[in-house]
Amino acid sequence: MSTPTPMKHAPSQQGRTPSQLAAATPPVSTPFSNPAHAAFSPHGPKSSPQQVKKSPATSTLMGQHAMGAFNFDSPSTAAAMGALGIGGSFDIGLDNVAVGGLDALGVALAGEDDKLKRLETILKLFSEKKGLVSEAGLDRLAQRLGLELLSEEQMTPGGRKTRTLAIAGSAIALDIVLDNNIVQSTSLTYHGNAESVSRHMDAAGRILLQDLQLLPDQSPLTKTLDGFASNFERLASLDKLSIVPGLDCHEALAGIYVSLDRLHQWDLSRLREEQGMAGKSDTYLSNMAMCTRHGFPVMHARGKVGLALQYWKELRFVPPSTDAMAVFSEKREMVWSLLLGCAPIDGLGLPPVRVSENWISKDIIKEEPSSMESSGGVALDWLEPDNVSLLQSEDNKDAGMDLLHPDLSTTRVPRVMFTVAFDPPVVLPQNDWSRLYMCANANPPNIELSHRGSPPTFDSLLFPIPPGTKVDPSEPRAISRRRDVCVFDEARKPAVKQHHSTLFIYKPIYSQAVSEMPFSHPRQLIDMLPLLRQYAFLSTLLENSFGSKTRERPPTTAKGGPNPDTEPEKPKSSTTTGKDQLADFMGSSREPVARAPPEPEDETRLDVILWVHPSPHLQVVFPMGDATADITLKILEGGAVEIVEENILDAGAKGKRKEFTKENLGKVLEYMEDLGKWAEWIRTRLS
């Protein structure tokens, strides 16, 4: 660490205060003329109008007392304040400090609250940068997480010097061996007594090693700590929240995993007994249990450390046929998961964590379920484990709280709760967003507003509006995309069709994105799954049909202008000069009116209308021979598709058309997960 060196100043200025400088500004009325504001605090009381509007004479008299609190031992302080844009009235002005990524604030920073927000944004930008994989980077990360790091130099049999870094917590320890700042190996150990935690440590250690090791042909200058920091921070937070003796957060989550895995194994046994599942692979059965039953619990999987409950995945009906395809699908196919963790209790009425492996009975279902429980399917035999009781001591004075029982007795319980993080975050309309919090018996937070001051809409969260675009959320929105769709006819011959797809949203669907919430029992997570699967499948349909796998429709071009298909678009400067404005004006007066390029004759138009009240609906319109197909479908809870209306099936049809029903059309869409491919499948079979 470099040692600060004092600045050199002219001898005549030594010891002078800002009030004694030659070019002192005349006394003016400022909010800090009041002696009560001499000790400045950004979070202090705001200035009142009476303190601002003062006469010059009064300000001068009051300034003589106030300036005493702003004397400086050296003019270097005043020089530093001037370099940072801080005026003589101690006004924090960061307009002179160039910080990238702050343009999204979008408002003039006039008040103290806005300036504080800008400071917080700067700190957030710094905290997001984890640094590179190196001894210094790991040291800074350990300090940020509040863990102790020890370094020891060793000599290899070949004569090379290596360094071992030991990052230790109360229950876990990670040893990292580096050779010239390149990670060679890691060793993750657990010092607790829970065997359910110890048997998963090797899997967690392998993920941490993958996060630190270089990829083939990767330079150490490009290997960041982002992935490692995200995973190791989960372990560190559980370690810091644990209370010795009394609470082991690692053991608490491992107990939930044991119960959920017991339920998953029961689901698999039931699926194997179903008609039509004979001969299916274990991967296919696991996918069905994940997407149609009670989820698939995993510990330290898919590059993420911790407990996750997987509940949805892409191409769930198409399991990989080979090991190579399995590796490929694990990296490419998206999986929706619930990441379970712990956090300090920050509100009232939130139950504390409990440690148990018996959240559900060994029999899984109740022997004599009530009529209300059995009406919706099987009645799971959920149990209520006892609370963790802490000993009264000074060590857990701040880490515990008193829990009041119905008999008015109290128990000392940890001030820690279970949390669930949604990976990826789920976009829900506001009504379903409230329902999701009701499943967890938690109060929903305040509705987040967009930078326009209104709640965000469903389409803006799935397909963000480009910055700088003026859009009225109350107006209809149309999203036009183009793509090439590979189609197989009945003879399995491939062909490529060009699609021009447009998504219409006529009414605003005010929505929220859910990323994390508290919970107290795994039963609450199981209750969420049907709703989560419903919108996970909807987002999959929209992403595959209008998302990153498609391309924007070519913009209108003027005569003699560049073709966007052949020439890259130059980034437009955010600064406009008078010369630029004149050139734009003269150019607009000379050029003819822009026209959209003609559509190819073999291009298929696909128009989709979306609405979600009372449940998600899609109206799909596309040409089919000399007619136009018009199909309205509804996405049910659990991700099933129901065809509500259609004009392509004939009840009196004969031959192969007689085999197609609404149920078949819905199953095909569930299988394909793509509106464009689904439309082409219908065209090739029913045209």
- Give 438 or 561, the one with higher predicted confidence: 438
pLDDT band at residue 404 using 50, 70 and 90 as cut-offs:
confident
Do 134 and 181 form a contact (C-beta atoms < 8 A)?
Answer: yes
d(Cα 416, Cα 333) in Å, to the nearest integer?
A: 34
d(Cα 616, Cα 535) in Å, to the nearest integer?
A: 8
Do 430 and 535 form a contact (C-beta atoms < 8 A)?
Answer: no
Do 655 and 629 form a contact (C-beta atoms < 8 A)?
Answer: no
Give yes or no for residue 408 having a pLDDT over 90.
no
Per-residue pLDDT tens over the stretch 376-391: 468 899 999 999 988 8
Give yes or no for residue 28 having a pLDDT over 50.
no
d(Cα 291, Cα 307) in Å, to the nearest integer?
A: 18
d(Cα 404, Cα 500) in Å, to the nearest integer?
A: 62
- How far separated are the first and last CA of the chain, in Å rounded? 74
pLDDT for the residue numbered 554: 56
- Average pLDDT of the chain? 79
d(Cα 497, Cα 475) in Å, to the nearest integer?
A: 32
pLDDT for the residue numbered 199: 93
Instruction: Indicate the Cα dihedral angle 137, 178, 233, 197, nearest 10°.
Output: -170
Q: How far is CA 367 from CA 364, 370, 378, 385, in A?
A: 9, 10, 10, 20
Taking the CA of residue 97 as centre, how many other CA atoms within 13 Å lie in the half-sphere pointing to its CB? 17
Token pair, residue 657, equals 């058309």
d(Cα 506, Cα 552) in Å, to the nearest integer?
A: 20
> Rounded mean pLDDT of 27-48?
41
The secondary structure of residue 299, as a DSSP letter, is E
Q: What is the CA radius of gyration of the chain?
A: 32
> Rounded mean pLDDT of 577-590?
44
pLDDT for the residue numbered 652: 61
Rounded to 10°, the helix 282-292/249-273 angle is 110
User: Contacts by 631-638 with C-beta closer than 8 Å and gap 24+?
Assistant: 631/665, 633/666, 633/669, 635/534, 635/537, 635/538, 635/541, 636/534, 637/530, 637/531, 637/533, 637/534, 638/292, 638/529, 638/530, 638/533, 638/534
Per-residue pLDDT tens over the stretch 636-685: 999 999 999 999 887 666 656 667 899 999 999 999 999 999 999 999 88
**Coil, strand or helix at 451:** coil
Of 51-55, 271-275, 352-356, 541-545, the poorest mean pLDDT is in 51-55
Of 287-301, 333-347, 369-383, the poorest mean pLDDT is in 369-383
Do 310 and 296 form a contact (C-beta atoms < 8 A)?
Answer: yes
Helix (H) or strand (E) holding 122: helix 112-128
Q: Which residue has the tokens 């082991």?
A: 248
List the beta bridge partners of residue 484. 498
Do 75 and 83 form a contact (C-beta atoms < 8 A)?
Answer: no
> Rounded mean pLDDT of 19-28?
44
> Rounded mean pLDDT of 410-439?
94
Give yes or no for residue 320 having a pLDDT over 90.
no
pLDDT band at residue 369 using 50, 70 and 90 as cut-offs:
low
Strand ranges in 49-195 using DSSP code E only, listed in sequence order? 148-155, 161-168, 172-179, 182-190
Per-residue pLDDT tens over the stretch 246-260: 899 999 999 999 999
Do 620 and 626 form a contact (C-beta atoms < 8 A)?
Answer: no
d(Cα 576, Cα 535) in Å, to the nearest integer?
A: 43
Q: How far is CA 58 from CA 37, 54, 353, 403, in A?
A: 16, 6, 60, 57
**Coil, strand or helix at 498:** strand
Do 75 and 6 form a contact (C-beta atoms < 8 A)?
Answer: no
Q: Mean pLDDT highest for which of 49-53, 266-270, 328-332?
A: 266-270
d(Cα 479, Cα 502) in Å, to the nearest integer?
A: 5
477-488 and 511-519 as β-strands: parallel, antiparallel, unpaired?
Answer: unpaired
Token pair, residue 318, equals 């198409």
**Coil, strand or helix at 138:** helix
* pTM of the entire predicted model: 0.76
Do 381 and 364 form a contact (C-beta atoms < 8 A)?
Answer: yes
Do 102 and 121 form a contact (C-beta atoms < 8 A)?
Answer: yes
d(Cα 523, Cα 652) in Å, to the nearest integer?
A: 48
Do 622 and 606 form a contact (C-beta atoms < 8 A)?
Answer: yes
Q: Mean pLDDT highest for which of 28-37, 48-57, 63-72, 397-406?
A: 397-406
For residue 569, what are the contacts with CB-CB under 8 A and spacing of at least 6?
none
pLDDT for the residue numbered 592: 42
Strand ranges in 239-395 using DSSP code E only, listed in sequence order? 296-301, 304-313, 335-344, 360-365, 380-382
Find, among 500, 672, 520, 681, the residue nearest to 598 by Cα. Answer: 500
Q: How far is CA 29 from CA 50, 53, 112, in A?
A: 11, 7, 17
Do 469 and 479 form a contact (C-beta atoms < 8 A)?
Answer: no
Find, among 114, 116, 170, the residue nearest to 147 by Cα. Answer: 170
Find, among 191, 227, 205, the residue nearest to 299 by Cα. Answer: 205
Per-residue pLDDT tens over the stretch 465-481: 888 777 787 889 999 99
Token pair, residue 375, equals 């009406």
User: Which amino acid appears at position 131 of this protein?
Assistant: G
pLDDT for the residue numbered 332: 85
User: Contacts by 141-149 with C-beta closer than 8 Å and gap 24+?
Assistant: 141/225, 141/228, 141/229, 141/232, 142/167, 145/232, 145/233, 145/236, 145/240, 146/236, 146/240, 147/236, 147/239
CB neighbours of residue 287 within 10 Å? 21
d(Cα 567, Cα 627) in Å, to the nearest integer?
A: 38
- Give 103 or 619, the one with higher predicted confidence: 619
pLDDT band at residue 73 using 50, 70 and 90 as cut-offs:
very low
Helix (H) or strand (E) holding 260: helix 249-273
What string of DSSP letters covers 92-117? ---TTS--TT-GGG-S---SHHHHHH
pLDDT-above-70 percentage for the chain: 73
Find, among 468, 435, 437, 660, the residue nearest to 576 by Cα. Answer: 468
